[in-house]
Amino acid sequence: MIATMMDTAVATQMLVYPCRMRVADEELMDLGDPADLGGEVLEGSPKISARIDFSQNGFMAGIFEATTGKVRINFPFTEHATIIEGEVTLTDESGQTHTFRPGDSYFIQQGQIIIWDVKGRRVRKSFYNYMQP
């Protein structure tokens, strides 16, 4: 489970996530199969990875990356995220669709089902999420 990837750390300085932020690939940890995060691959062979900057009491923040592909996700947490590189099209259960690009943000509640569609090489986002028990 993603929540166990990093011990809780006390930050000594503010972290800044600018749009088009450069994150070295080696800073990201492979998260395995999208099914491990509640996803079902619909197209392609997307790879997912993340850098966890904070994890405590059900809250987590960091950087997430997904490569080309389409995944149906039953969101396992409530999340606020901002795209920092690439673009992704999200479609919710009502059929509402929006393409997010650097600087765009979204909010998804735990349990919502979303189609996550990356057409380009990859998308990276900064995220802050909370998983209810």
Residue 70: pLDDT over 90:
yes
Boundaries of every domain in the chain = 25-130
Please identify which residue in the block is written with the tokens 């490569």: 67
What confidence tier does 133 reach under pLDDT thresholds 50, 70, 90? confident
Architecture of the domain defined by 25-130: Sandwich (2.60)
pLDDT in tens, 52-68: 999 999 999 999 999 99
pLDDT at residue 17, as a whole number: 74
Mean pLDDT of 54-83: 95
Measure the CA–CA gap between 55 and 62, rounded to whole angstroms: 9
